[in-house]
Chains A and B, each alone.
Chain A
Amino acid sequence: MSLIEINDLKVHYPIRSGFWNRITYSVKAVDGISFNIEAGETYGLVGESGSGKSTTGKSVVGLEKITSGSIMYKGKDITKKSNRKELDYNHDVQMIFQDSLSSLNPRKRIEDIIAEPLRNFEKLDANEEKLRVLQLLDIVGLDADALYKYPHQFSGGQRQRIGVARAVATNPKLIIADEPVSALDLSVQAQVLNFMKKIQREFGISYLFISHDLGVVRHMCNNIAIMNRGRLVEIGTRDDIYNHPLHIYTKRLLAAIPETNVNHRQEHREQRLEVEKIYQEQQDKYYDKDGKAYPLVQISPTHSVALPEDLVEKIKHEGEVKA
């Protein structure tokens, strides 16, 4: 059984207008997505900004009011507030936010920030609590003198590690990491990511890793879902996505990863332009008449892609030929 199962999740924001202020239109931030996260894995959710990936993350952690669909955890649908309460859901599922400064209350000391989930979910006495906070700080590589400081006294990377420490505090089973490093310098990114990996090894935590950066995702994730316009366009293992991308949107994202090897720069550029050309020409083929992505179709046990039937047949056929 998977750790968490997301079935046909929809989050629509109503736009009210007209004379009686009725809902006349809705922005479909997330429009029917399904995927499962297994225990101990890092699941990557990738897409451009506005694709609904953050909304998905917030729904999973219980911050978003969802329109329809279900998110199953321990056999209960946690989109209902009563179920979340009953399970002490946020004891097991925590979140790391993108903006480390705004996610730490500027008026609170680090001790109180990290201890907040402990105080709500675990009854510890003052000494135990302090010890636990110190241990957590140590895990993310911060000294004990951080305890009484305020968030603004730290650098961005340090703050994000504090955010990680808070998320780990209750020893959760799943952490939603919403673009945890995109606000950081490249050199600091690796540091924070390595801490996250280390924690995963030590505590067996699963991550839902939300990012727009396929480079970072490759470093972190085993399974990846590509999201576009509120729907999933491709799901697969790291190998499926990076080496056998099928959907044009995935190909574009991959082509957009900067090439670090200068010798291949020209080559890379040509490849990117070619993908872009195909995208412009064949866009209609990959999306239905409303501009929505097609439902996912399974290609292999691990790999699914949102393509119309005829294309899928063709791809399957080609695959057999190649094999």
Chain B
Amino acid sequence: MWKTILRRILIMIPEIIILSILVFLLAKAMPGDPFTGSINPKADPAQIHHLMKINGLYDPWYQQYWNWVVHLFHGNLGNSYQYQEPVTRLISGRAVNTLWLALFTTVLTYCFALPMGMYAAKHEGKLPDSIIRIYTYVTYCIPFFVILVIGIWIFGYVLGWFPTTGSVSSTANPGFPTIASRLYHILLPGILGALFGTVNIVQYLRSEVIDAKGSDYVRTARSKGVPEKDIYRHHIFRNSLLPIAAFAGYSITGLLNGSLFTETVFSYPGMGLLFINSISYRDYTVITALVLIYGILNLLGTLLSDIILSIVDPRIRIQ
């Protein structure tokens, strides 16, 4: 078990190294430089030349990459040219917002999906099952950003129930009101994300429960007179729980990808919005750091899921 995890982590290392080189080169290949026009519109070319030079931007790429990696291991991701602030500090502030929203969405997703999946399986082939199936398929096939735009239009602007921008109200007092305000700001994106992200869990849980319903151990329990409710709660649900939990890891990829859209629509200051802004300003240091972080988070999510699944299903462990 531990060996499997350790080996998986070892396999991750070359992947991360390749990703970092790739990202670094791509960022270097981006046109323009971070200085022209950003310090002072009338900046003298010689001065920019000087700035480029002291920042090491004329060194060969491997030199620059090596310097970058060395700094990376000292916890130093460089300075953001746009914000004139250390990237580590800049991103950690934003990361909290993104992860907070992602966590909230995940929890809500499970709250919606688990009862739906169980209910659909219980009433397999009947009306509730069809309704849930149609629901999951409708939510699955509509592009998420369209939902976000329509959602913010109806609930944010027309009805005015939710804030349409930011992560916290600037007037909220410290302490509890701040937390409440933060929660209020992620409520709408969280609900939308959860309502439209149930499809995998619902379908998996449904088929899992339907399989379990016909299995020998459930029939044995039933013939022994165990109440139907207990059969579902203790026998069927518990068995499906771990594989379902494994989806949390895989869903990280989707959530992070979605964060670019969610944060743009809701002007929510997380890593996704930071990335979009940094692209326009050619803020290399921030861009490379963000892509790397997203890549590593994707890897960790997959790793987490694989670990959970390998606990459930020993067959996977051999590979």
Contacts and interface: CB of A to CB of B under 8 A. Distances in A.
A16 interface: yes
Interface stretch (A17-25, A59-67, A120-128): A17-25
Contacts, number: 7
A17 B318 contact: yes
A19 B318 contact: no
Interface in B176-230: none
A17 B7 CA distance: 11
Interface in A1-28: 16-19, 21
Interface of A: 16-19, 21
Contacts of B7: 19, 21
B58 to A, nearest CB: 43
Nearest to A19: B3
B318 A18 contact: no
- Count class of interface residues, chain B: under 10
Nearest to A20: B7
B6 interface: yes
7 contacts: A16-B318, A17-B318, A18-B3, A19-B3, A19-B6, A19-B7, A21-B7
B262 to A, nearest CB: 40
A16 B3 CA distance: 13
Interface string B267-301: 00000000000000000000000000000000000
Contacts of B318: 16-17
A17 B317 CA distance: 9
Contacts of A16: 318
Interface of A is mostly: loop
Contacts of A19: 3, 6-7
A17 B314 CA distance: 13
Contacts of B6: 19
A16 B318 CA distance: 7
Interface in B37-72: none
Contacts of A18: 3
A18 B318 CA distance: 9
A19 B7 CA distance: 7
Contacts of A17: 318
A299 to B, nearest CB: 44
A19 B6 CA distance: 8
A21 B11 CA distance: 12
A281 B318 CA distance: 38
Interface string B1-21: 001001100000000000000
A21 B319 CA distance: 9
A8 B3 CA distance: 37
Nearest to B7: A19
Nearest to A17: B318
B259 to A, nearest CB: 36
A18 to B, nearest CB: 7
A200 to B, nearest CB: 44
A16 B317 CA distance: 11
A19 B9 CA distance: 12
A23 to B, nearest CB: 13
B138 to A, nearest CB: 34
A17 B4 CA distance: 10
A154 to B, nearest CB: 32
A21 B3 CA distance: 10
A22 B6 CA distance: 15
A19 B1 CA distance: 10
A21 B6 CA distance: 12
A254 B225 CA distance: 48
Contacts of A21: 7
Nearest to B10: A19
A147 to B, nearest CB: 42
